[in-house]
Structures are given as C-alpha cells and as structure tokens.
Chain A
C-alpha cells in the first residue's frame, strides 16, 4: 500500500500523495472505530456519518474564538435553554424512577416533552435571532472556546460517545438490520440539526479558517531555517543553475512547494501518532479478557449471558467506544481541512464507504481495518484516472468524437461507485472475512 502511495508521489506529485496518505490515515481511524463495533461485538452501526459530524462540531466549538457580541446578544437565552433541557431530562428521570409503569405515566411524559419543547423554542427564539443577526456574513454564531484545535480530538470523542450512549439506550435492543436502519436515520437527524441550527455552527454557511496544529505555509515561506532546509535538500539541483537570479527563482518555487509538503507532513505525523496509539490500545483490548468476553458475546449471546456476562451493558460500552473513535476521526478530518461544511456530510461518503473499508479490510482484525481504510480510500481517489485509462484502452478503436466514448469519458467520476460496489460484492462472495481475516492466537 505504501508503495502505491509512493508511486503516486513520484508520478503525480508529493503533495497529492501526502494528502491521500493523510486521508487514508483518517479513514483508517474511522474504520477502526466501526471495526470495534462490528468485528469485536457484531454490532452494526450505520450512523458513522453522525459521529464524524459531531467530531467536526467539536473542532469548531473548541478552536474558534468566542464571538463576544453574540454572547451578549443571545447567550443568556441559550444558557437558559440548556438549563431547561437539563431540567426536563432530570424531571423525566425522576418520573421514570418513582412511578410505576402505567398509561398515565406514558402520557404525562409525552405531554411534558411536548410542552418542554415548546417552552424551549419560545425561550430560544429571540436569542437565536439576536445571535444570527450579529454580523451574519462573518459570524452570526456563538463561536467556541478559542482553545488549540488539538483538544477537540478528545472532546470530539466525548461528543460522539455521548450521542452513542443515547442511541445505544434507544436502539441497541433491535435486531441487526433494524439497528442499521435506526442508526442511519438517527445520524440523518444529527446532520439536519447541525445543518440548520445556525447559531451553533453557522449551519450551511460553513465555518472556515479554523486554527491549525501545524504552521501556516505563508509563515514557513519567510522563515530562515525552513528556506535553509529546502536549500540543503535541493543543493545538487540548485548548483547546476549558474545564474544567481535564476537560482533564486527556482529556490522560491521549491520553498513554496516544500512548505505545503512540510505542512502535510506535520499532519501526517500527528495522525500517525493517533493511529499507532489506537492500534496499540485496540490490539491490547483484543487479546485481553475483555476482548475474549466480547467475542464470546458476539458468537453466542445467550451462552455469554448464561455465564453471567451483562450483554446489554457490554454492547452499550463497545458502542460508545467505537463511536468515540469515529468522533476522533471526525475532529481530525475538520482539523486537516481547516473548515467545517455540514453540507458535505453525506451517508454515501461517510457511512457506506467506511463500511466497504471494514468489510474489505477484514472485520475483527485491526490491521485489516487499517489496510481497508488505505486500500479503499486510495481506490476511491484514484478510481477516476484508472477508469479513464481503461475507457481509453477499450475504446481505442473508436474515433475521438464518437458519442459513446465522449459520454463515457464525461461520466468518469461515477466509475468509482462501480468499483466500490463490485469490490464489495466480490469480497463478500469469495472472501467473506475480508483481505486480512480475523486471527486469534491463544497464548
């Protein structure tokens, strides 16, 4: 896999190769999260998109500087709402604990929730309007805490884990394919909320220019040590140019290219650290007594239950853990892009593609998950060039203006779906356990 990426570096450019590599790393993290749920415990989670988006939300809330005006305009109302929501949840908990299950209780809770929502809406409305009126072209939202964005990776995990707790409480009792549908739909609800609550994250107006954990290209290009570094690396090439001003121009060009490669390398280092830490943790977990118990639950729920294992609790735990890892990946993704675009969260890209990675790589095997993330993402990006090559190869006999050939070349971007689908179908049929199947060595 690395060889392929290096080949891209040599033939296309190092910039592209590194961005593919970074996305591969992020995909690998997501795949590991899904793999923990599916491979370890047999829980199907089609809500990956929702957790990714929550991770991204965390990145925004942590790193953006607070918008003081908006806070003074509507902060009080929003805080009031938060208290109301907490109070509502507490009241419902109280009722659930202290009253017997009956029709009256159910109706009372329903009435309580509906009136609570109405009350919250009425309190929030003026605040939200005031916030969204504050300089709507640039801010129009509350902003965040102005902390370094790297913290958001942890906060993203907590956000996603929190959502997973709620979803797990609601849906984990369902049969597998229903769990799939329910999680998919719940993730759509999450996206709808993130998209349309402008006061929180500007909604579809996007948040751009997030802080970075890596230096900026522009700063690098004027730093002495970096220019010297680039000069050193390319000294052989530079010495061939005798003219001084020419040499300077070439050096400048190299510095500009080098700076973006350098920034990407910084990201790669950070992401690689995360992947390695997660890999160590998940491998340890896989071979621990806990991992054995999870496999026992997956393979025979009733037997595990009879042995005194709390299946429901363990399912909830692993659901939260896996989702939290996906949340980390979501925050990493936004960190890398430097922008948060709720409109770009589509189930195709963030749920089904990740599942293709899990299945292709090999469920239950962490290395398989990483391999799946790398291989599938690489194919997803490079599918268009490959398809173009194949089309040109097979239609070589046709004239350049043949309608079919032109039509095929026009629709090159969609061949990636075809490749993903065929790949998934072939793997499911002939290697149902994935490229690297689960292998448990008992020590």
Chain B
C-alpha cells in the first residue's frame, strides 16, 4: 500500500507535469530545429512568435465565447487554434518576405540572420504587448479536471490523490498526433524528403531540381503550426503572459541543442529530457521516502537536490554538459 502511495505521489507530482511540460517544450524545440536545419539560423524570436500565435488564438477564443460557441467539456480554444495558425503563418511568411529573404538570397553568415531575428523578436514582442497587453490572460474554459484528487482518493482508498487536468491530457494527445503526422510528412512524402535533402546539402538539392522557395514556404508553414499549437497548449495549461513566453525560449533552445540541432526527432526527445530533469532534480522527495522507508529512517530535511529556484539553471547546466562532451547533441545533429 505504501509503495502504491509513493508511486502515485511520483506520478502526480513528477511524471504527469513533466510529460506535459516536456510536450510543450518538444513542440517549440522542433520549431527551432526545423528553422535551424533548413533556414540555417538560430531563431531568437522563437518565444515571441509562439506568444503571437497564442495571442491570436486567445482573441478568437474570446470572440467565440462572446458568440456563445463552445465545445462543452473541451476548451473553446481548440476551435480557435486553426485561426491562430492561419494568422501565425501569414505573419511568419510576411516577416520572411520583408526581413529574412534578403539575407538568405545574399547568403549572409548565420550570425547575421540571428541578429536580424533579434530585431524580429523586439518587433513581435512590441506587437503582442500593444495588442493584448503584458499582463496575465486566462482563456481556459470547459471541464478543468478529468480526475480530481479527492475523487481518486475516495475511489481507491489511498492516501495520495491523483489529479489529472484535462489540459494535460489534451497537451499530450495533441503532441502525439502532431508529431507523428510531422514525422510521417518528413519521412514518407516527397516534399518532406526534399526538405531533408535541402537541409543536408543545399547545393546538391538545388541541382536535383528542388525548388528552394517552396521548401522555405513549407518550413514556415510547419513552423507556424508548431509554434501556435505549442504556445496555445502552454497557455491553456498554465496561463498566457508575453514575458513567460520570451523566457521559455531558453529551455526550448536547450532542448533543441541537447537533442541534436537540425534533428527533429532529437528535438522531440530533448524536450522531455529537459522537462524531466528539471522536475526530477528540484522535487522534494521527503514524502516519497516517508512512504517507502521504515519510520526509523525517515528523512529530516526535504531531500531536495536543488531548490526549485534553480529550475531553469538545471536545464542550462545540462546544455553546458552536453556541449562539452557531445557538441552534436544526444542524437547526432549537425556538428556545431
């Protein structure tokens, strides 16, 4: 019984939150890695682009709510997401046309493109804050919990409750569907294969008749889908605040590099690596040990490896270690 309690405890406080957070990071990391692999620059506007997509989604959610449209138990945001994606893609394509295209055609070094993306970051941040403001926005509606902690306790007779938020389930499900679709697209369709070819060797791809304009456009479209869904899921699960999105850029970068930049599958796993290690290392295991150890050996302190304040620092330290020992990431990406 005690062991069961301990397991539920871990499931409730570590496994489920980490899985959700990891999925959100993974979507962002695939976005970064695609842009890096095909357009060949580190996009510092990642977090703010995600917040732009989320903002449009929120505005549409509010509009639908005012019309009285809803999905019942599911959050209304799910019907607003396609509109968010549409606006996001339009925004990204226009940015590409007016900003990035010039440097791509001139074959500027990647650093210059990264600098330009900082300019885009500033502009996007301003646009988001001017339109929706810098404060916290909640746009979740529908049923909040699938399993409530108290009901679970009554159902099983255990001491520990297991709470399962509907946003967590939605996040994981949507991520699985989206990522499998993406990998199917990249590995099985002709366009996806030509994208990979373009990423591996640009000149060779051009010689074999691949249209770079089309590749770039499709990359931005996929990026728009990933950014909006990733951002909206994060916003649904926690809350929407432009500043948090900007900060999320950092663990997303860490996930992309840890997984091996330019490698979408690596980025996907990298998200989970970062999320799990952040939560594993900062969780206080006192209660867990109270269940599995006999009373005489119960720990006095919190048994916490690092205080929760260092959550971000954990992912960055992992990144530094990976850069030191395996600069190409866990799954071989491009060698840096």
Question: With A196-B310, A411-B130 in contact, do A424 and B316 touch (Cβ < 8 Å)?
Answer: no
Name the one of A181, A182, A415, A425 contacting B99, with C-beta atoms under 8 angstroms. A425
Question: Does B292 sit within 8 A of A, measured CB to CB?
Answer: no
Indicate which residue in B109, B122, B312, B324 contacts A421 across the interface (CB closer than 8 Å): B122
Complex CA–CA separation, A417 to B111 (angstroms): 21
**A181 engages B126 (CB within 8 Å):** no
Inter-subunit contact B114/A189 (CB<8 Å): no
Tell yes or no: A359 within 8 A of B by CB. Answer: yes
Point out the residue from A44, A192, A417 that lies within 8 Å of B126, measured CB to CB: A417
Residues of B239-268 whose CB lies within 8 A of A: 246, 250, 253-254, 257
| Interface-located stretch among A148-156, A170-178, A259-267 | A170-178
Residues of A within 8 A of B317 (CB): 189
B116 at the interface (CB under 8 A from A): yes
- CB < 8 Å neighbour of A185 from B111, B123, B124, B250: B250
Is B102 in contact with chain A by the CB < 8 A criterion?
Answer: yes
Q: Does B192 contact A (CB under 8 A)?
A: no
Q: Is the CB of A418 closer than 8 A to any CB of chain B?
A: yes
A binding-site residues for B, Cβ under 8 Å = 44, 106, 170-171, 173-178, 180-182, 184-186, 188-189, 192-193, 195-196, 348, 352, 355-356, 359, 408, 410-411, 414-418, 420-422, 424-425, 428-429, 432
Q: Is the CB of B122 within 8 A of A432?
A: no
Whether A184 and B250, one on each chain, are in contact in the complex, defined by CB atoms closer than 8 angstroms, is yes
Which of B124, B253, B313, B324 has the most C-beta atoms of chain A within 10 angstroms of its own C-beta?
A: B313
- A348 surroundings in chain B (CB, below 8 A): 125, 246
The reply to whether B121 and A176 contact each other, CB–CB distance below 8 Å, is no
When A178-B323, A414-B129 are in contact, do A425 and B123 touch as well, CB less than 8 Å?
Answer: yes
Contact (Cβ within 8 A) A411 B129: yes
Does A425 lie within 8 Å of B246, measured CB to CB? no
- Chain B residue with the shortest CB-CB distance to A42: B111
Q: How far is the CA of A89 from the CA of B74 in the complex (A)?
A: 55
Q: Assess the A188–B123 pair: CB atoms within 8 A.
A: no
Q: Does B283 count as interface, using CB distance less than 8 angstroms?
A: no
* B313 shortest CB reach to chain A, Å: 4
B13-54 residues at the A interface, CB under 8 angstroms: 41-42
Q: A171-B323, A425-B116 are in contact. Are A418 and B127 (CB under 8 A)?
A: yes
Q: Is the CB of A176 within 8 A of B246?
A: no
Known: A178-B336, A185-B250, A414-B125. 4 other contacts (CB 8 A): A174-B336, A178-B42, A422-B119, A428-B116
CB contacts (< 8 Å) of A424 on chain B: these are 115-116, 118-119, 122
CB pair A170–B313 under 8 Å, yes or no, is: no
B290 at the interface (CB under 8 A from A): no
> Are A193 and B313 interface neighbours, CB within 8 A?
yes
Q: Does B154 lie at the interface of the complex (its beta carbon under 8 Å from any beta carbon of A)?
A: no
Note all chain A residues with C-beta closer than 8 A to B123: 417-418, 421-422, 425
Cα(A425)–Cα(B119), bound, Å: 5
- The answer, yes or no, to whether B134 is at the interface (CB within 8 Å) is yes
| Contact between chains at A420 and B122 (CB < 8 Å) | yes
Task: Write 12 A-B pairs (CB below 8 A) sorted by A numbering.
Answer: A177-B42, A177-B111, A178-B257, A185-B320, A189-B312, A189-B316, A352-B121, A355-B118, A414-B130, A421-B124, A421-B126, A425-B123
Determine if B180 is an interface residue (Cβ-Cβ < 8 Å).
Answer: no
Alpha-carbon separation in the docked complex, A428 to B250 (Å): 24
Q: Write out, one digit per residue, whether chain B residues 43-71 have a CB within 8 A of any chain A CB (1) or not (0).
A: 00000000000000000000000000000
Interface residue from B42, B115, B133, B250 paired with A188 (Cβ < 8 Å): B250
The answer to the question of B270 belonging to the interface, with a C-beta cut-off of 8 Å to chain A, is no
Q: Is the CB of A421 within 8 A of B320?
A: no
On whether the beta carbons of A408 and B130 are closer than 8 Å, the reply is yes
Residue-wise, chain B 166-199 has the 8 Å CB interface mask toward A (1 for contact) of 0000000000000000000000000000000000
**Chain A contacts for B94, CB-based, 8 A:** none
In the complex, the answer to whether B323 meets A174 with C-beta atoms within 8 Å is yes
Closest to A432 in B: B112
Give the complex CA separation of A373 and B18 in angstroms.
42
Q: Tell me whether B120 is interfacial, beta carbon within 8 Å.
A: yes
Query: Quick check: B122 and A418 within 8 Å, CB to CB?
Result: yes
Contacts of A356 in B (CB 8 A): 118, 122
Does B75 make an interface contact (CB < 8 A)? no
Counting from the closest, the 6 A-B pairs by CB-CB distance are A421-B122, A421-B123, A418-B126, A417-B126, A424-B119, A414-B129
Contacts of A175 in B (CB 8 A): 110, 336
Contact B257 A181 (CB under 8 A): yes
Question: B122 near A417 (CB under 8 angstroms)?
Answer: yes
Q: Considering only CB atoms, which chain A residue lies closest to B256 in the complex? A: A181
A-contact bits for B283-316, CB 8 A (1 contact / 0 none): 0000000000000000000000001011011001
Q: Are A177 and B41 in contact (CB under 8 A)?
A: yes
What CA separation (Å) do A418 and B124 show in the bound complex?
8
Please give the distance in Å from A181's CB to the nearest CB on chain B. 5
> In the complex, A417 Cα to B131 Cα: how many Å?
13
List chain A residues, Cβ under 8 A from B99.
425, 429
CA distance A118 to B179 in the complex (A): 39
For A182, the chain B residues whose CB sits under 8 A away are 319-320, 323
Contact residues in B for A418 (Cβ distance below 8 Å): 122-123, 126-127, 130
Closest CB of chain A to B45's CB: distance in Å?
10
